[in-house]
Amino acid sequence: MESIRKEFALDQPTFKAIVDGFKSEYAMGLNTASASGLATMIPSYVTALPTGDEKGTYLALDLGGSTLRVCAVELRQAKRSNVKVTELKRHIAPNDPLRTSGAVAFFDWIVDAIDELLTMISAAASSTSEPLSLGVCWSFPIDQTSISTGKILRMGKGFTIDGIEGLDLFTLFQEAFERKGLRVQVRALLNDTVGTLVAHAYTNPSTRIGFIYGTGVNAAYPEKVSRIVKLQQQQKAHTQPSQQMMLVNTEIDIFGSEDYLPLNRYDKMLDAQHSQPKFQLYEKMMSGGCMGELVRLAALDLIDKNLLFNGYRPQEFAIPMEFDTSVLSLIESFMNETLEVRLQHFNPLFHFTEAYVPSENDLRLLTDLCQIVSNRAARLAAAAVASLIEQQQEDLLGPRTDQKPIVIGVNGSTYEKYPTMHDRIHQALTEWFGEEIGQRIQLEVATDGGSIGGALIAMLAEKEEKMMNDLGALSS
Ligand code: BGC
């Protein structure tokens, strides 16, 4: 057990190496023009935040690892509480054939959901003569080339749609709308981190980081346009000089090399047996999608040495990647109960083909494993947040920023549901920055990134496009 503890230990010098490693990846990503295959530091082309005065109905679509959500968002007045959201959800099972279908079948399926939503809100939709604007929250890497266009990169999260890589997401949607005869216009493509940042900034204007910590992991932050060298090279014509900041999708999930990430033998085993080896190394060390697997692999080691479950393998450990992180979360949530209650909760979680009932010692060992893995995960999440705070050094840590809160909008089941995850991340940040700055750091649960965030960005994009058209008309 002690050797497993050592494998997962993440001390301060290692934490520093990770923060420094991330910062050099930011610099490299901002300066690298090409995004063939993989891309990090992706400009979002979102350069403004909503004022709160906006009105109208906007559509938002949110595709994640296991759910498609489509929403109609009616912005009614200045206050967020006056937003009306009508939504429709579709679950995508891990073995759903859609995940490996072709692009046409996949996009038709998505657009069918929008069609159904439009029927639900038919009154609002028919009252407008213009197509409804849609913000597409795409929780996968894309090489964005404008606010509404971008090339699809490798998807992850169990999707391997045939021939989709390199295609333009805007075009795929518009073609599907045409096939189905829908009057909808994609106005903006956004990553879930960008949606989270915008939606949370709408609630709390001090928000400076959008962080996703669920099945996947990623972060967005506002970067000075002058530092986005690749944007200046590629898109000089499209960027207005007055636009000082642009939200950047870091795709930090993809970051990582052994130069600074402390990959241990379980991380390497997980990666080697994964459907996408060598991809998303950082994410695999700490995401909700992988923590269960890391515990499973370490537990199998103990079982093989007869140290756990008397050497018997529970059925729950039979298949790689199928031991769910929610079980870890459950085990940690009852760890302060009396032994009797803990055993009552614990025993039904594991089933053996042989007549074996887990013992108190099994419970203790497995709880320890969960904590060892989740403590490291919390510190890895904190290292990402710390590096993003430092990346905004001047604005957040400079001499004129005293006492101002540093707000991070965080979305995702691992952060929201895993016991004490918030406290552990915050504590690691306080250890890194010291008490004074630690007190200014506020990690807040951010919801609605894919719904209200998507709709707000579609609205901002539509506004900007109209303004540009008006300017064009004036000067011609
Ligand atoms: C994806 C990111 C996404 C993150 C959080 C990662 O696996 O590559 O684009 O933002 O998950 O959902």
Q: 88-97, 122-131, 265-274, 355-364: which has the minimum mean pLDDT? A: 122-131
Q: Is the pLDDT of residue 298 over 80?
A: yes
Q: Is the pLDDT of residue 236 over 80?
A: no
283 lines ligand 1 (CB under 6 A): yes
Provide, rounded to the nearest whole percent, the portion of the chain with pLDDT above 70.
92
CB distance 360 to 339 below 8 Å:
yes
CA dist., res. 239 & res. 225, Å (int): 9
Q: Ligand 1: which of 66, 250, 251, 279 to mutate, most ligand atoms within 8 Å of CB? A: 251
Alpha carbon of 218 to ligand 1 centroid (Å) = 5
253 lines ligand 1 (CB under 6 A): yes
Alpha carbon of 17 to ligand 1 centroid (Å) = 23
Q: Is the pLDDT of residue 242 over 50?
A: no
CB distance 63 to 195 below 8 Å:
no
How are strands ordered across the β-sheet holding 441-445? 42-43, 245-249, 217-224, 207-213, 406-411, 441-445
Cα dist. 437→116, 378, 386, 390, 431 in Å?
Answer: 48, 19, 11, 12, 10
Q: What is the mean pLDDT of residues 98-112?
A: 94
- The amino acid sitting at 290 is C
Q: What integer best gives the mean pLDDT of the chain? A: 89
pLDDT band at 33 (very low <50, low <70, confident <90, very high): low
In this prediction, residue 283 carries a pLDDT of 96
In this prediction, residue 233 carries a pLDDT of 59
- Residue whose CA lies nearest to ligand 1 atom number 1: 140
Q: Is the pLDDT of residue 456 over 60?
A: yes
In this prediction, residue 146 carries a pLDDT of 87
- Residue whose CA lies nearest to ligand 1 atom number 9: 140
Q: What is the mean pLDDT of residues 337-349?
A: 91
In this prediction, residue 204 carries a pLDDT of 85
Pick 468 or 397 by higher pLDDT. Answer: 397
pLDDT band at 234 (very low <50, low <70, confident <90, very high): low
411 lines ligand 1 (CB under 6 A): no
Model pTM score: 0.88
In this prediction, residue 193 carries a pLDDT of 95
Pick 343 or 48 by higher pLDDT. Answer: 343
Pick 386 or 358 by higher pLDDT. Answer: 386
The atom number, within ligand 1, closest to the CA of 191 reads: 10
Alpha carbon of 292 to ligand 1 centroid (Å) = 18
In this prediction, residue 145 carries a pLDDT of 84
Q: Please spell the DSSP secondary structure of 268-294, one letter per residue.
A: HHHHHHSSSTTSSHHHHHHSTTTHHHH
Q: Is the pLDDT of residue 297 over 60?
A: yes
Most confident range (mean pLDDT) of 24-28, 44-48, 125-129 is 24-28
- Residue whose CA lies nearest to ligand 1 atom number 6: 216
- Residue whose CA lies nearest to ligand 1 atom number 2: 140
Q: How many CB atoms lie within 10 A of CB 206?
A: 15
In this prediction, residue 36 carries a pLDDT of 45
Q: 15-19, 256-260, 290-294, 397-401: which has the minimum mean pLDDT? A: 397-401
Q: Please spell the DSSP secondary structure of 381-432, one letter per residue.
A: HHHHHHHHHHHTHHHHTSGGGTT--EEEEEESHHHHHSTTHHHHHHHHHHHH
In this prediction, residue 37 carries a pLDDT of 45
Alpha carbon of 358 to ligand 1 centroid (Å) = 37
193 lines ligand 1 (CB under 6 A): yes
Alpha carbon of 275 to ligand 1 centroid (Å) = 16
The atom number, within ligand 1, closest to the CA of 192 reads: 10
The atom number, within ligand 1, closest to the CA of 289 reads: 7
Q: Ligand 1: which of 136, 140, 282, 388 to mutate, most ligand atoms within 8 Å of CB? A: 140
Helix axes 339-346, 360-391, angle to 10 degrees: 80
449 lines ligand 1 (CB under 6 A): no
- Residue whose CA lies nearest to ligand 1 atom number 11: 216
Structure tokens at 400: 């004129």
CA dist., res. 269 & res. 263, Å (int): 10
Pick 79 or 315 by higher pLDDT. Answer: 315
- The amino acid sitting at 140 is F
216 lines ligand 1 (CB under 6 A): yes
Collapsing DSSP to helix, strand or coil, 165 comes out as coil
Question: pLDDT tens across 191-219, in order?
Answer: 999 999 998 988 888 899 999 999 999 99
Alpha carbon of 255 to ligand 1 centroid (Å) = 12
195 lines ligand 1 (CB under 6 A): no
